Structure 1
Amino acid sequence: MLVFSAMGSEKSVVVKKNSVLTINLKTNIMDSPTEERKGLFDIGDQDKNVLIYDAIEAINKAKTDNNIKGISIETDFMNAGITQIDDLRNAIQDFKKSGKFVYAYGNAVSQSAYYLGSVADQYYLNPAGMIELKGLATEVAFYKDFADKYGIGIEVIRHGKFKSAVEPFLRNDISPENKEQLSTLLNDIWKNTSSRIAASRKIDTVQFRTVVDSLYGMIPDLGLKYKLADKLIQKTEYDKIIRSKLNIKEDDKLNKISLGKYIASYSDDEGSGDRVAVLYASGSINGGNDYNDIHSEKYIKYIRDLQENDKVKAVVFRINSPGGSANASDEILFELQQLKKKKPLVISFGDYAASGGYYIAMAADKIYSEPNTLTGSIGVFGVIPYFKDVANKNGIRSDIVATNANSQYYSSLNGVTPYGVSMITKSVEGTYKRFVHFVTQNRKKSFEQIDSVGGGRVWSGTRAKQIGLVDELGTLNDAVKFAAQKAGMKSYNVVSYPKRMTPFEQIFKDLNEDDISARVVQNKIGKANYQLLQQIVEERKLQSEVKMEMPYQIKIN
């Protein structure tokens, strides 16, 4: 029997004088409450998972908090997406205007952690450490030869020459169109991030390119020579520098407070006044009623609740999704259109707002994107596997008895009939036209204009703004302020939907065999590798449902 004690007896957090707001390895930045995962032994770690909105508000509050004297960035790896790091970095840059210090320290520092840390006034590196500053790259795996070798047939139907989600099943190499869009995306994102690093470190852009190309950051002395770091010191020496900055004695305790604990130190009371609701939608889009990811039945209920809640005067819909089911996306869009008739609806994009993730944004009064958001992917596809050749090679055959001409238009052994292919093609084309129709209405452009930037192509947020797929470049916090303004509110509270589950709720929600097995695998191979494994073997990726989905992710690792 498992016994849990003192679950409701958390001590209140008090911010002491001369405190330093600290971002470290335990800080896990989430885009949505549904991204949170708790295990049996994570009960005491409630403060390590922080919503990006709360993190930005905390840094803004610390700017004028007399008890907070500075920020210390002490992380070698960032548990955050690319746009979340952008927002953190911008908030810390603004925090520096207060005159308070920002220092950073690293050991074996990932590129994403250095991107954040480089905003500091001073960057300190361990004498035996390294900075993995290398630029961006992507690797695309192809499965056509594998499928051919083992007799697996794959029927692919798509609209859009850039709809590369199906390319691994059709080709053995990357298409010119996909190579073009990936190259543009990577260069757009790297230009944004590298220029900020170079500016913060006061490194000439030409020299910075040489530093990155030569991997100089991997050698501590070279990192120091080429201004990636200001000094090579041990962590104890770093803490002494902070003590000196705070004018406290060596024997006195150095008061470091995490983002999570700092947020917990001030009231989370929703208040009784008017509200702006932030509805978070993170993950793939599917039918069903699950809490994690974006399941249409669950989100229909959330949206209707917000529509009927008189205290909620405006809604910000935060999207962080590469898409998924076309049908589920359409259901969510319809409910958002009904919500918009009653109150302002503002959209904010996170790391991804692609394909179905972009489609569900088409009810917006205004769309905010981050510069590095992967945006668009206006395209549709269907992938249907069958096993005729492998079955025949192993002595398996079938006979069909049917009541109608197309009762068996698809069989896992025999594939899709020619008529079945023609009808699925019509379905894909019809879904694409419906997709473009809603985009033309929201973006106030012609079918031809949207089709020319559609075709499944993915754009950075910066380019999406240039071609009219979004209205503004800005953060979730910017979207909330605009929503309040549009609703005519000067004073308001911000509330989050869905509500974060308690540790107990999360534990018992996940106590089934499939979820436990999945979490064991994810813990063993890492989150990024687990997501790649899902792309290869997950059954729903290879089913006969029409999809609005983007095939890849980009991270500053």
Structure 2
Amino acid sequence: MVRIVFVALANLLILVRYLLGLPFRLLASRHRPTHVRFRLAGDPPYRERRRAPLRLRLGGSSLEPATVSSLESFQEALGLLAKDPRVKGILLELEGLEIGSAKKDALVKLLTDFRAAGKRVVAWAVSTDSVGYQVMCAADEVLLAPAGRLELVGYAAEATALGEGLARVGIQAHFVRRGAYKTAPELFTHSHVSDIQRQTLEAFLDERYAELVEAISRGRKRSPEEVRALIDAGPYSAQRAVSAGLVDAMCSEADLPARLEPPRPEEKAKAPAESEAEAEAEESLEPMDTWLAALPWAPVKWRPVRRKPRLGLVVLSGMIVPGKGSGGPVGPTTAGADALVKAVRAAGRDKRAKALVLYINSPGGSALASELILEAVQRVARKKPVIAYVDQVCASGGYMAALGAKEIWTAPHAIIGSIGVFAGKFEASGLLERLGVRRTIIARGENAGIFSVSRGFTPHERESLEAEVEETYQAFLGHVAKARGRTKEEIHERAEGRVYSGTRAMTAGLVDRLGGFEDACRHALNLAKVPTEKFELMTYGGGARRRSLLQLLLSMSSTHLYALCPTCWGLAGFKAGEHFDG
């Protein structure tokens, strides 16, 4: 009853404000823009995230005007613009776009649907890479700044082997692994990149390259053979990109309004002073907020009497580590098991959250920490539907955590699998000797010195470690077999560290469905038997923490069990001309 009164008062205030603003909107409607400007930058989230518990956030930088704050808000904006007969289209500016393949596909679909409604899309950038260019290829017209560049060169992965280099400074890596395809320790133990590592990288390069060729071929109306030749001739200056037909024209930012809306003949004949005044008024394209302010009967966001169904979201991002994880402004992100378990439990306790989506972007990490997260997810999954969603990486320990969900959803080009375990340490005896440092181990117990960096493993220590690695690997197989409804032998054939794309993981039976984030969210709510048209997304837990690369290496200097795939982490970030170690 109290809520009904509060909602009624809130909606009354909204109505009063709406009516008071109506005269101003009517006056502004004559100058409602025919083209609306949007800016794509960074890595916009799928949806605006509401956090629990509510935190007061002071300071921080606000988004620049026209910046897309989420794919959800962008979709809503395009839907409104598509219904306005006065609107001819949009200008889409790309600046430092850093998205994965799944978000790229989502953006392409939004632009394609908008164009199907009879609207025009013009894409403009100063500089763009292969991913951004694929988004631009979904537009009617592609423009570059005169001094711009198109970094279209394909994809490359540079695998590294540190074994010989470490030996030269007196460090030896001692690792035990289970699975010929579990190549993580090779970074430290091998002097050359193995054939298995090369084959793994080549498989993903082939898929990403084929996706790039297909997108450009469809968007620029070229044959695949022509596109491959164009990629081989990159990168391009703006002038060369225009000559090659990859870009329609060069256009400075100041000239964009005139290109999107050329002046009519009668406007050209006006007095110079009047034309200059109009040119000054039209010197910049307006963002969505300006269009809404000039819409007489703008859509109103009324306060609903009934609350929207709530969907919980827990984000598992980065290398999985025990404890809370460690903070720091730079370095790889880490996911602390304690923090993740608390977040999953909070989502399970929230009665308003009818279902939970576990978003995973992790190459794995500590085997123990991963199993703790798995157990927490399993407990919540007994009370409410849990869907694991992957759009970039869900490998090794990350995949172990996903097994607790009722279903695993993935994007087609996500990285899945790497079911395997390794353990080991770094021996620094050679380095210590060069520095004149003498260390003597005095122990009681056959394996008491197993964690020491002063020497390698004794035969007995290595035998004990191999037994522990085998035990953990068998447990991992057991978790997968139970979750996927197969025998351990069947999973073993797909395991031993093998890495799959989302599409290949679907064929191998390691995931349940291919789809987008929104589809996975709505499916989770469908399983909970609640309406899915409009829902509230609540995020539990804090953001990922960061560790320096040195901290991560030092954390591996003692003997622990790892379910980690660094190669997968690097593969998720493919960009034109960049190299990744693995």
TM-score class normalised by the smaller sequence: 0.7 to 0.9
Could you give the per-residue CA deviations for residues 196-234 of structure 1, whole angstroms, max 9, x where no partner exists? Answer: 22201111111101111122x514444223321112232
Structure 1 range deviating more: 539-548 or 366-375: 539-548
Per the normalisation by structure 1, the TM-score is: 0.82
1:191 deviation in Å? 1.3
Q: SS of the residue aligned with 1:158?
A: strand
Identity of aligned residues (%): 24
Name the structure 2 match of 1:240: 258
Q: 1:179 to 1:377 in 2, by over 3 A?
A: same
Q: SS of the residue aligned with 1:360?
A: helix
Distance (whole Å) between structure 2 residues aligned to residue 47 and residue 136 of structure 1: 33
1:386 and 2:401 correspond: no
Match of 1:296 among 329, 332, 337: 337
Name the structure 1 match of 2:307: 272
Supply the AA of the counterpart residue of 2:433.
Answer: N
Does structure 2 conserve the Cα–Cα contact (< 8 Å) formed by 1:106 and 1:124? yes
Does structure 2 conserve the Cα–Cα contact (< 8 Å) formed by 1:373 and 1:460? yes
1:180 deviation in Å? 1.0
Q: 1:417 to 1:460 in 2, by over 3 A?
A: same
Q: 1:411 to 1:218 in 2, by over 3 A?
A: same
1:85 deviation in Å? 2.3
What stretches of structure 2 of length at least 5 have no aligned partner? 1-17, 19-24, 52-56, 268-277, 293-298, 328-332, 577-582
1:88 and 2:107 correspond: yes
Q: 1:496 to 1:190 in 2, by over 3 A?
A: farther
Does structure 2 conserve the Cα–Cα contact (< 8 Å) formed by 1:142 and 1:172? yes
Supply the AA of the counterpart residue of 2:317.
Answer: S
What stretches of structure 1 of length at least 5 have no aligned partner? 1-11, 519-532
Q: SS of the residue aligned with 2:521?
A: helix
1:224 and 2:242 correspond: yes
Distance (whole Å) between structure 1 residues aligned to residue 184 and residue 262 of structure 2: 54
Distance (whole Å) between structure 2 residues aligned to residue 422 and residue 452 of structure 1: 25
Q: 1:376 to 1:62 in 2, by over 3 A?
A: farther
Structure 1 range deviating more: 100-109 or 53-62: 53-62
Q: SS of the residue aligned with 2:384?
A: coil
Q: 1:50 to 1:160 in 2, by over 3 A?
A: farther
Match of 1:404 among 442, 445, 461: 445
Taking only aligned residues, the RMSD between alpha carbons, in angstroms, comes to: 3.6
1:100 and 2:119 correspond: yes
The 5 Å alignment of 1:324-335 reads 324-335=365-376
Could you give the per-residue CA deviations for residues 148-176 of structure 1, whole angstroms, max 9, x where no partner exists? Answer: 11111210111111112111222222211
Does structure 2 conserve the Cα–Cα contact (< 8 Å) formed by 1:56 and 1:88? no
Match of 2:463 among 422, 440, 447: 422
- Give the number of equivalent residue pairs: 512
Match of 2:562 among 547, 550, 554: 547
Q: 1:487 to 1:47 in 2, by over 3 A?
A: farther
The 5 Å alignment of 1:293-372 reads 293-372=334-413
Supply the AA of the counterpart residue of 1:230.
Answer: D
Name the structure 2 match of 1:43: 61
1:536 deviation in Å? 9.4
Distance (whole Å) between structure 1 residues aligned to residue 479 and residue 69 of structure 2: 31
Name the structure 2 match of 1:472: 513
Distance (whole Å) between structure 1 residues aligned to residue 79 and residue 264 of structure 2: 20
Per the normalisation by structure 2, the TM-score is: 0.79
1:99 deviation in Å? 2.0
Name the structure 2 match of 1:192: 211
Distance (whole Å) between structure 2 residues aligned to residue 315 and residue 411 of structure 1: 43
Match of 1:438 among 471, 479, 488: 479
Supply the AA of the counterpart residue of 1:24.
Answer: R
1:541 deviation in Å? 4.1
1:46 deviation in Å? 8.7
Q: 1:193 to 1:258 in 2, by over 3 A?
A: farther
Name the structure 1 match of 2:4: none
Distance (whole Å) between structure 2 residues aligned to residue 423 and residue 229 of structure 1: 61
Q: SS of the residue aligned with 1:108?
A: strand
The 5 Å alignment of 1:134-213 reads 134-213=153-232
1:400 deviation in Å? 2.9
Q: SS of the residue aligned with 2:109?
A: helix
Does structure 1 conserve the Cα–Cα contact (< 8 Å) formed by 2:163 and 2:172? no
Does structure 1 conserve the Cα–Cα contact (< 8 Å) formed by 2:308 and 2:536? no
Match of 1:252 among 264, 275, 281: 281
The structure with the largest alpha-carbon Rg is: 2
1:456 deviation in Å? 1.0
The 5 Å alignment of 1:440-455 reads 440-455=481-496
